[in-house]
Amino acid sequence: MLRIHPLTLCFLQSSLSLFLRSHNKKVLYGSSNGVFSARYFFGKILSVDDLTTEHSYFLEKQRLRNQLVFGDGIVSGLSVAVGKEGSSQRVVLSPGLAIDPTGNEICVRDVIICALPPSG
């Protein structure tokens, strides 16, 4: 395993920052999957772009964690039932939490009732 002294690593990051700035690129640090977080320092003026980048970073990390820990599917609740109300049918979705294939959370807080169109 290659060990890099912390001061050397700091120098490499600073050199990379200077290189990126000289080519009008944003200075971003991230993980191996291409998800980046903005680099902050005392006195930095934050722009909308900085905050959007930071928000995207944390959302992507949460999606990745959801995919790796839970996979996709129902975490809790979210039962679906078909029932009758008079002469029409309806679908009832109960509250719960699920993870879609891309790691997004699907949270249903209240019972959802949808009427089905009449058959025929």
Burial 94-115 (b: 16+ CB within 10 A, else e): eeeebbeeebeeeeeeeeeeee
Question: When comparing pLDDT for 33 and 65, which is higher?
Answer: 65
Cβ atoms of 79 and 60 closer than 8 Å:
no
> 3-state DSSP call for residue 92?
strand
User: In the predicted model, is pLDDT for residue 79 greater than 50?
Assistant: yes
Region 76-93: mean pLDDT is 86
pLDDT at 99: 92
Domains in the chain: boundaries? 6-69, 73-115
Its pTM surpasses 0.75:
no
The C-alpha atoms of residue 16 and residue 22 are separated, in whole angstroms, by 10
